[in-house]
Chains A and B, each alone.
Chain A
């Protein structure tokens, strides 16, 4: 079946540190991949996505590259800010593209950034 595995948190970093949150997936076919972020007291927001192998999604300084050979979609940011403190969810949308919003999520990774 389809599944997403994320690194366990919490991840605690100092401001301006480099961030990596690992995400690997299991899926048949060619899924689309997503990162969602949940800030305190808010709902999930789409952070970035990639729809095919070698695509790079990017937004707000965050990046993730769809790696089919390693079935990974790791989230990176070069310099985190306190405002990036949130829960980050990796997710996939199983193929086909025509029915794309039944997402499979990982367990989420808490990020805490200290000033």
Chain B
């Protein structure tokens, strides 16, 4: 089966611009998560979708970040306008259920650099 895919793998943008990251989860996985690793620090939870609904968006840093999952398939994470501190690696993960017995499958991440 195809794994979780993320696009693009790298993005370099200027402060103030807009960037949209995309995640395609494993087919059939209702649960989709976004995480972020900034400056080699901890990987932090951003939000969790169950199908097309936001189950938990408590980790979203501010209203410059907008996540969507229309139709419950792929998800996008838009940053508008981007700031320097948004630089980092954005990971997407999916799982069959939201129990810790259902393993998380991670994508390779999108490395975002804001200059």
Taking Cβ atoms with an 8 Å cutoff, the residues of A that contact B are: 4, 32, 36, 41-46, 49, 51, 89, 91, 93, 97-108
The residues of B that contact A41 with a CB separation of less than 8 Å are 108
A100 and B100 contact, Cβ closer than 8 Å, known pairs A43-B106, A43-B108, A43-B109: yes
Q: How many interface residues does chain B have, given as a range?
A: 20 to 34
- The CA of A107 and the CA of B45, in the complex, are separated in Å by 13
A43 and B99 contact, Cβ closer than 8 Å, known pairs A103-B104, A105-B43: no
Of the candidates B91, B102, B104, B108, the one having the most CB atoms from chain A within 10 angstroms of its own CB is: B104
Could you tell me if A101 and B100 are in contact, using CB atoms closer than 8 angstroms?
yes
A46 and B104 contact, Cβ closer than 8 Å, known pairs A98-B99, A100-B99: yes
Could you tell me if B100 and A43 are in contact, using CB atoms closer than 8 angstroms?
no
Interchain Cβ contacts under 8 Å between A and B, 11 examples: A43-B4, A43-B106, A43-B108, A44-B91, A44-B93, A97-B100, A100-B98, A100-B101, A102-B56, A103-B35, A104-B45
The residues of A that contact B102 with a CB separation of less than 8 Å are 100-101
Task: Give the nearest-CB partner of A49 in chain B.
Answer: B100
Within 8 A of A (CB), among B77-115: 91, 93, 95, 98-109
B31 at the interface (CB under 8 A from A): yes
A89 and B43 contact, Cβ closer than 8 Å, known pairs A43-B109, A45-B106, A102-B48: yes
CB distance from A96 to the nearest CB of B (A): 10
CB distance from B98 to the nearest CB of A (A): 5
Task: Give the nearest-CB partner of B100 in chain A.
Answer: A100
The residues of A that contact B99 with a CB separation of less than 8 Å are 97-101
- The CA of A105 and the CA of B100, in the complex, are separated in Å by 14
Task: Give the nearest-CB partner of B39 in chain A.
Answer: A107
CB distance from A73 to the nearest CB of B (A): 14
B61 at the interface (CB under 8 A from A): no
Could you tell me if A107 and B40 are in contact, using CB atoms closer than 8 angstroms?
yes
The residues of B that contact A102 with a CB separation of less than 8 Å are 33, 45, 48, 56, 98
Could you tell me if A42 and B108 are in contact, using CB atoms closer than 8 angstroms?
yes
- The CA of A36 and the CA of B103, in the complex, are separated in Å by 11
- The CA of A97 and the CA of B43, in the complex, are separated in Å by 21
17 more A-B residue pairs beyond the given contacts A43-B106, A101-B93, with a C-beta to C-beta distance below 8 A: A32-B100, A41-B108, A43-B4, A43-B107, A43-B109, A44-B93, A44-B104, A46-B104, A51-B100, A99-B99, A101-B48, A101-B95, A101-B99, A104-B42, A105-B35, A105-B42, A108-B37
